[in-house]
Every structure is written in structure tokens, then in C-alpha cells.
Amino acid sequence: MLSRSQRRKTGGKKVTFYKKWWFWLIIVLLIGGIAFYMIGSASSKKSDDSPTPDISYSSSKKHTYDYGDSSSSDDDDADSSSANATAAANSKAAANAAAQASSKAAADAASRSAADSSSRLAMSQSLWNKQNQASSSSSSSSSSSATGTSN
């Protein structure tokens, strides 16, 4: 058995790689990367499961085609074009109504802010006038008291 001093001199210390700080840093980064990858892939699957809405600008009538009767397909085309024209007119009317509502809201907000700023201006002017009156009255009373003591 070697003494402590002899053990130190021999330098029999050999640090293994798993006792180094960089080894554990690599392990933590790998585990974190795998965990974030799994979380991201799980959240993307949830959005794929939800059905996408069917957005259609054509008429709501379902078309069934009868190849024996060619006149009915002409009627369907006329119906769909009139339905498209109606849908376009409805969307224009809705857009105009939305534009009018937003402009009215903007005008209301502007008038409210103007009224608020004018009331604030009036209040600040009244405070300024009161301060001037107070300072002028205090300066006149101090000058009169100064003249009264000199007699």
C-alpha cells in the first residue's frame, strides 16, 4: 500500500470521459433536441386531424348531371351564373357596410379623443391660472408685509 504522498507523485489519476463537463453538455443537448422534436411533431399531428372547411363561392345547389338531357345543363349554368352574381352583389354590400361601420367607428373615436383633449386643455389652463393667481397673491402679500415691517 502506498502512502498519500507517493500516490500523488505517481499521478495515477485518470479522469474518465463521463466525468468531463462537455460530455454531459452533449447529452443534455441531445435529449433536449429529441424532446423538442417530439413535441413539435405531436403538435403538427393535431392540426392535421382537424377537418378543413369547404369554402365554395358557387351556389349551394348540388349539381347532378344527366347526360341524356342537354337542356337541363344549360339551365344549371344560368342558375349558377345568377347565383354567382348574387353572391358577388352580397359580398359587395357586406364590404360596403363594413367600410361604413369602420369609418363611423373611426369618426366616433376621433371625436371622443378631441373632446377629451379639449377638456384636458381647459383643465390645464385653469390650473395654470390658479397657480399664477396664487403666486401673484403671495408675492403681493409678501411685498406688503415687507413694507409694513420697515415702518
Per-residue pLDDT tens for 22-38?
A: 999 999 999 999 999 99
Mean pLDDT value of segment 76-81: 61
Q: For residue 124, what are the domain limits?
A: 115-139
Task: Give domain status of residue 42, yes or no.
Answer: no
Domain count, the chain: 1
Task: Give domain status of residue 5, yes or no.
Answer: no
Report pLDDT for 35.
96
26 burial via Cβ count (<10 Å: 0-12, 13-18, 19+): exposed
Which set of grid coordinates corresponds to residue 136?
A: 401673484
Cβ(83)–Cβ(58) below 8 Å:
yes
Task: Give domain status of residue 63, yes or no.
Answer: no
Buried b (16+ CB within 10 A) or exposed e, 48-73: eeeeeeeeeeebeeeeeeeeeeeeee
pLDDT digits (tens, 9 = 90+) for 43-69: 876 655 566 666 766 655 555 665 665
CA 7, 8, 10, 13 torsion: positive or negative? Answer: positive
Among the ranges given (12-26, 98-112, 136-150), the one the predictor scored with the smallest mean pLDDT: 136-150
Task: Give domain status of residue 88, yes or no.
Answer: no
